[in-house]
Amino acid sequence: MALKDLKGQGHWPTLLAAFLYFDFSFMVWTMMGPLSTELAEFLEATHGFIMSANQEATLLAIPILGGAILRILLGFLVDKIGAKKTAIMAQSIVVAGLYFAYFKSDTITYNELLLVAAILGFAGASFAVALPQAGQWYPPKLQGVVLGLAGAGNIGVVVDFLFAPKIAELWGWESVFLVGAVLSTFILIVYFFMAKDAPLSVYQPRPKKLKDYAKLLKDRDTWWFSLFYAVSFGGFVGFAMYMKVYLLGTYHADMVEFGLSVLGEGNVKVVAGYFGALCIFAGAILRPVGGAIADRFGGIKSLYYFFGVVILLVIASATLDVSFAIAILMLFVIMAHLGMANGAVFQLVPQRFGADIGIMTGIIGCAGGLGGFMLIKTLGWSKGAFDGYMIGFLIFAVLVAVAIASMSLVKTRWRTTWGIQAGGRI
C-alpha cells in the first residue's frame, strides 16, 4: 500500500504525533544500551563495583522487561481513558525519571540505576499507546502502512547509538540523561497540542470491561501473535540493546583500527555506537516497508520470508568465522528483516483483533518486550558461561524456527475463517 493512499484519510497530525512520541520514547527506553560501558566504568571508579556479564545484561534488560509489563497496563488505559491521557501520564513519569538520573549522577549506585531502568519501561510501553492511537483513525486496508509508520518510531534507538556515546565522551554520561529529559519534555508539549483521540467509530469501538480482556487471553490467536512478535520485535530490541556490548566484546581490535584509519575517531566506544546505529537503522526504517509488503502479499507469506532470512543469517553469525565487514553486513540484514517482520505482524493483528486493538497491542507488545528481555539475558548468560555468544545466537535461531513452524499450523485456519472478512490480505 503506497503512502499516497493515506491522503484524505485519517488524521495526519495524530499520526505524526504518535510517531514522534514513540520515536523519542524508544530513544529514551533504550539509552542504557549505548551507555553500558560508560556506566560500568563509572560504577567501578566511584563505588569499586565491577559488573559481571550477567549484571550488565540485567541493567540492559530491565527497561525492556518494564516496557513489556507496562504495555498491558497502558493498553488497558488506552481503552479506558483514551490514548492521549495515557500518553501524557506515562511521558510525565519518564521525564521525572530522567531528571532524577541526571541530578543523582554523581553518586548513583547500581541499584539506583536499576530503578531508573525500570522507570524507563514507561517509555517502552509507549508502543501500546502510539500504535492504537494512529490505527484507530484508519481503515483495515491501510493498517499495515499506518502502524508501520507509527511503529517506525523505533528509529529512536538509532539516535541513541549515533549521539549518546559522543555526548558521553564530550560532557559525561550524565549529560545524556539531561538531553533525554529536555527532549522528552519538548515532545510532551508537542504531543499535547497535535494528538487527538479518534472519534467513536468502527475503528475505535467503545471501551471493554475486564472480563473482555480475560476472554482475549483465552483466544489461541492471542498467543500465536504473541509468539511471532516475541521473535520479531524481541529479536530487534534485544540485539539493539546488546549491540554495543556484543561489538566491543567481539570486534574490539577491528573497530579500533577502522576508527583510526577511516573515521579518524580514537574512541572505540563511539565507533561501536556508529556501527550499532547502522545495523539498528535498517530494522527501524524498514518497519513500514514490512507493513506495506504485507499489505501487498499478505502477512503470513511475508513473515515466512523475513523469518527465513533471519534464521539463516543468525546461524551463520553463530557458526562461521567471518571478517568484521561481513559480520556487520550480516547484522545489518538480520536487523532489517526483523524490522520488516515487526511491520508484517502488525499488518495482521488489527485485521484479527480490530475491535480490541488497544489491549491487544499491549498484550502482544508485552510479548515482544519479554522476547527482547530473554534475548539480552541469554546473550549475557552465553558470554558469562562460555566466553562467547554462539550458544545465545543458536538459541534465538531455534525460536525463529519454532515461529516459522507455528505459522504453518495456523495459516489455513486464519485464511478460511476471520481472514475472509478481514479487509486486507492474510
**Measured CA angle at 57 (ends 43, 120), to 5 deg:** 80
Predicted pLDDT of residue 143 = 65
| Phi-psi region at 48: left, alpha or beta (left = phi > 0; alpha = psi -120 to 50) | left
The pLDDT score that the predictor gives to residue 365 is 82
List residues bridging with 201 in a β-sheet.
204
- DSSP letter at 9 equals S
Q: Are 137 and 198 in contact (CB under 8 A)?
A: yes
| Residues making up the chain, counted from first to last | 426
Name the DSSP letter for residue 323: -
CA distances from 199 to 145, 207, 352 (A): 21, 12, 21
Give the closest residue to 378 by CA, choosing from 239, 236, 244, 251: 239
Model pTM? 0.86
Q: Is 9 left (phi over 0), alpha (psi -120 to 50) or beta?
A: beta
> Helix-strand-coil percent breakdown of the chain, rounded to 5?
85, 0, 15
C-alpha 202/C-alpha 221 separation (Å) is: 21
Q: What is the pLDDT of residue 1?
A: 46
Residue 361's pLDDT is: 75
> Is the CB of residue 290 less than 8 Å from the CB of residue 340?
yes
| C-alpha to C-alpha distance for 210 and 3, rounded to whole angstroms | 37
Look up residue 205 and give its DSSP letter. P
* Residue 286 to residue 200: CA distance in whole angstroms: 31
Whether domain 13-193+218-421 has CATH 1.20.1250.20: the reply is: yes
Which residue ranges make up each domain of the chain? 13-193+218-421
Are 134 and 87 contacting, i.e. CB atoms less than 8 angstroms apart? no
Task: Read off the C-alpha cell for 390.
Answer: 554462539
pLDDT of residue 306: 98
Q: Where are the alpha helices (DSSP H) in 30-52?
A: 36-47
> How distant, in Å, are the alpha carbons of 120, 128, 399 from that of 290?
27, 19, 20
3-state secondary structure of 201: strand
Angular region, 423: left φ>0, alpha ψ -120 to 50, beta rest: left
pLDDT of residue 205: 53
In this prediction, residue 186 carries a pLDDT of: 95
**Would you list the DSSP string of 149-199?**
HHHGGGGHHHHHHHHHHHHHHHH-HHHHHHHHHHHHHHHHHHHHHH--PPP
pLDDT in tens, the chain (426 residues): 455 666 666 677 888 888 889 888 988 999 999 999 999 999 999 999 999 999 999 999 999 999 988 988 887 888 788 889 999 999 999 999 999 999 999 999 999 999 999 999 999 888 778 877 877 777 766 666 676 677 666 677 888 888 999 899 999 999 999 999 999 999 999 999 998 887 765 455 556 667 777 888 899 999 999 999 999 999 999 999 999 999 998 999 898 888 888 777 778 888 888 999 999 999 888 888 898 899 899 999 999 999 999 999 999 999 999 999 999 999 999 999 999 999 999 889 888 887 777 678 778 888 998 999 999 999 999 999 999 999 999 999 999 999 999 999 999 999 888 878 766 788
**What sign does the dihedral 402-216-234-153 (CA atoms) show?**
positive
